[in-house]
Amino acid sequence: MSLQIVGASYQIDGNHLLQEINLSLQPSSINALIGPNGAGKTTLLRVASGELTAGKVTLDDTPLAEILLEERARRIAFLTQSSALDFPFKGFEVIQMGRIPHLTGRKHNQRVVDEVVRKCGLQSLVDRTYTTMSGGEKQRIQIGRVLCQVWDNLDTAYVLFDEPTAALDLSHQLIFFEVVQMLASMGTSVILVLHDINLASRFADKVTLLTKGQILATGLPEEVLTKENIKQAFSVDVDIFESGARPLIQATNTFYDTYQTHG
């Protein structure tokens, strides 16, 4: 079983957002997409989810376009960078929206919501009004919603997150990654766009580094997160330290000195 992207190219007004991207997402894995702004990370997630059509995308060897939307939604969940919701729903009502693709009854749906709330530590938010929450609290509720969407199929699911930790404080980032690791242990393939390279290094099984719509490197964190690759992608010099089996990246002053001199 896998989600395969082959030959994905996408452009808008002559601007190449993706150029001949090939990517394979396997079960029981955490995959991080990293790269500078405009590298094509979000566009690639949109292709993987079926929101955009580019190249050939297959789910278990079946073209994604041939799978009914309801069936696809039970296997692939996508949390975008921002979720516009202006109605005064309670937190639990937003989480319940993840059950829309399912034809299961109220009791089963409530059991799923309760399990997700417990796993994600959302008990303090479920009875609050969504529109009164902070950005980080809303993000936590939205994470619960997308998990409810695939909860019945975690052993064959693909969950896509676009910058999921951007609005989360440190403790809730760690809680989020505990949930992600739990999902992977149950068979789920998780793919995340991350701007924090050290989070990618610490938690991802596989890292894909994008730049200018192309894959610069993909593989284990220690294979991808090298001084040379980071310099080429981000134009930043870094020092790399060992942190267990994972690299720890720290920017040097080279970029900042250059910026202050020429900026």
Q: What is the DSSP code string of 36-96?
A: STTSSHHHHHHHHHTSS--SEEEETTEEGGGS-HHHHHTTEEEE-S-----S--BHHHHHH
Q: Report pLDDT for 258.
A: 46
Task: Tell which wins on pLDDT, 103 or 253.
Answer: 103
Listed residue (18, 8, 10, 33) closest to 205, CA to CA: 33
Q: How confident is the model at residue 18 (pLDDT cuts 50, 70, 90)?
A: very high
Cβ-proximal residues to 12 (8 Å cutoff; 6+ apart), any chain: none
Which listed CATH number (3.40.50.300, 3.40.50.150, 3.40.190.290, 3.40.710.10) goes with 3-262?
A: 3.40.50.300
Using one digit for the tens of pLDDT, what is the confidence trace for 97-129?
999 999 999 999 999 999 999 999 999 999 999
Q: How confident is the model at residue 263 (pLDDT cuts 50, 70, 90)?
A: very low
- Please check the confidence at residue 28 and state whether its pLDDT lies above 80: yes
Domain ranges across the chain? 3-262
Mean pLDDT on 237-247: 86
Listed residue (182, 203, 184) closest to 121, CA to CA: 182
- Please check the confidence at residue 262 and state whether its pLDDT lies above 80: no
Computed from CA positions of residues 176, 180, 181, 183, in that sequence, does the dihedral angle turn out positive or negative?
positive
Terminal-to-terminal C-alpha distance of the chain: 49
